[in-house]
């Protein structure tokens, strides 16, 4: 439905979007996930023809946004991050204004307005001033204007930002509802947000696509990363030398306080090493106060994938950290 190929947007020397390519299939709800400044809004503005690209192209239903923007735009309804709502208009007046701007034939206005107001449940507030509506209702009006013309694709930039928890739940329900009839792309910097409604997640970081998969696959991709948290009554040296006798432990970060050593261990394989740890410490008569196994969550996947450059510029490699901590004791 949408083909984004080698899209690049430069602002001076800064590449807001850097050689980004992906495909949007019909009938799927996509989540564009990334921290603030990742390039989500820039990407959406280019796809919807609101912003020119420095390089690359986007085809919507076969129409290039560069060569054939009018046809491409007809297939998309867009709710930008800051929707241009006219505060002194009522939702009905505003939607009529948008219907005209979109070139919808006059005779269809009433029926289309009725349909989008029903879908977004704003019929009751259609004659109030937009200025006086709650943020949740303003957002519904924004979504209603995106739906005018019944475009195949609906693109929503951070649709739940600034809403209270109840409004967030209502907008999510509306998004799921719309997903039944439209191809949907929404952006968010909050993982739980996209996890709650999207069939497919695309994680972007610094203008790059760093992952693209279903929420389930992204989770299982990283499920091999299992951490074990251990709390032992004993000093760091004793704990470290015992851990070195247990097979399958990759790294150990240790801290000691009041005779209790805490460690975070990473397993190298899939095998459960907890029994071996227990036996080793029991034999050495070092009491284990606590042991928990934590599997990587999608949250961890997201943080890992979007913290790439920040991690790379840290002065100390991770495996020297525990040495420093031990030396300080
Ligand atoms: P996101 O929506 O993911 O938070 P944006 O697409 O808004 O990210 O921004 C991506 C990057 O591009 C950021 O570093 C931002 O500062 C920069 N940027 C966005 N718009 C402009 C602009 N008009 N001029 C200069 N830099 C911009
Ligand atoms: Mg944004």
What is the per-residue pLDDT across 221-236, written as a single tens digit (0 to 9) for each?
Answer: 665 567 889 999 999 9
* pLDDT reported for residue 238: 92
Q: 8 and 156: one domain?
A: yes
* pLDDT reported for residue 321: 38
The atom of ligand 1 lying closest to the CA of 42 is 6
Q: 58 and 202: one domain?
A: yes
Domain range for 139: 2-214
Q: 203 and 250: one domain?
A: no
Considering Cα of 111, then 112, then 117, then 118, what sign does the dihedral take?
positive
Asked if 304 contacts 222 with a C-beta cutoff of 8 angstroms, the reply is yes
Single pTM value for the model: 0.75
Count of residues making up the chain: 329
Q: 197 and 245: one domain?
A: no
* pLDDT reported for residue 223: 58
Q: 259 and 205: one domain?
A: no
What is the DSSP-derived secondary structure letter of residue 278? H
The segments of the chain whose pLDDT lies below 50 read 309-329
Q: 178 and 227: one domain?
A: no
- CATH number of the domain bearing residue 303: 3.30.70.260
Q: Residue whose CA is closest, atom 26 of ligand 1? A: 11
Nearest-angstrom CA–CA distance, 206 and 117 = 37
Ligand 2 centroid from CA 326, angstroms: 43
* pLDDT reported for residue 248: 83
Nearest-angstrom CA–CA distance, 91 and 89 = 6
The atom of ligand 1 lying closest to the CA of 81 is 2
Please say which residue of 169, 193, 214 terminates a domain. 214
| Ligand 1 within 6 A of CB of 38 | yes
Please say which residue of 214, 236, 255 terminates a domain. 214
Q: 108 and 74: one domain?
A: yes
The label of the residue with tokens 């709710």 reads 79
Ligand 1 centroid from CA 207, angstroms: 10
| Angle separating helix axes 165-179 and 135-147, nearest 10 degrees | 10
Ligand 1 centroid from CA 210, angstroms: 18
Please say which residue of 186, 214, 242 terminates a domain. 214
Q: Residue whose CA is closest, atom 17 of ligand 1? A: 16
Q: 151 and 231: one domain?
A: no
Q: 42 and 145: one domain?
A: yes
CA distances from 135 to 131, 160, 271 (A): 10, 10, 50
Our count of domains for the chain comes to 2
Q: 279 and 311: one domain?
A: yes
Q: 255 and 130: one domain?
A: no
Q: 203 and 245: one domain?
A: no
Closest Cα partner for 191 from 22, 34, 17, 24?
Answer: 34
Ligand 1 centroid from CA 7, angstroms: 15
- CATH number of the domain bearing residue 42: 3.40.50.300
């Amino acid at each position: 439905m949408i083909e984004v190929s080698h899209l690049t947007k430069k602002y001076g020397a800064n590449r807001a979007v850097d050689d980004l390519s992906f495909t949007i299939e019909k009938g799927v709800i996509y989540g564009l996930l990334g921290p603030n400044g990742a390039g989500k809004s820039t990407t959406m503005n280019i796809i919807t023809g609101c912003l020119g690209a420095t390089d690359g192209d986007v085809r919507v239903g076969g129409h290039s946004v560069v060569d054939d923007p009018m046809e491409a735009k007809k297939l998309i309804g867009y709710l930008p991050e800051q929707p241009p709502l006219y505060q002194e208009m009522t939702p009905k007046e505003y939607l009529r204004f948008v219907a005209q701007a979109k070139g919808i034939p006059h005779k269809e206005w009433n029926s289309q307005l009725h349909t989008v107001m029903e879908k977004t449940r704003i019929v009751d507030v259609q004659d109030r001033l937009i200025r006086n509506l709650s943020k949740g209702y303003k957002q519904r009006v924004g979504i209603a204007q995106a739906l005018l013309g019944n475009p195949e694709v609906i693109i929503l930039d951070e649709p739940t930002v600034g809403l209270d928890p109840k409004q967030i739940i209502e907008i999510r329900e509306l998004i799921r509802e719309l997903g039944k009839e439209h191809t949907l792309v929404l952006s968010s910097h909050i993982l739980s947000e996209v996890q709650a409604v999207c069939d497919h997640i695309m994680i972007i970081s610094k203008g790059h696509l760093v992952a693209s998969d279903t929420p389930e696959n992204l989770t299982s991709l990283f499920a091999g990363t299992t951490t074990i948290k251990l709390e032992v009554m004993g000093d760091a040296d004793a704990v470290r030398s015992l851990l070195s006798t247990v097979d399958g432990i990759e790294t150990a970060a240790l801290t000691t306080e009041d005779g209790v050593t805490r460690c975070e261990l990473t397993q190298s394989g899939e095998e459960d090493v907890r029994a071996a740890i227990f036996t080793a410490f029991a034999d050495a008569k070092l009491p284990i106060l606590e042991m928990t196994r934590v599997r990587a969550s999608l949250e961890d996947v997201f943080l890992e994938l979007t913290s790439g450059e920040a991690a790379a510029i840290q002065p100390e490699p991770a495996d020297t950290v525990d040495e420093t901590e031990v030396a300080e004791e």
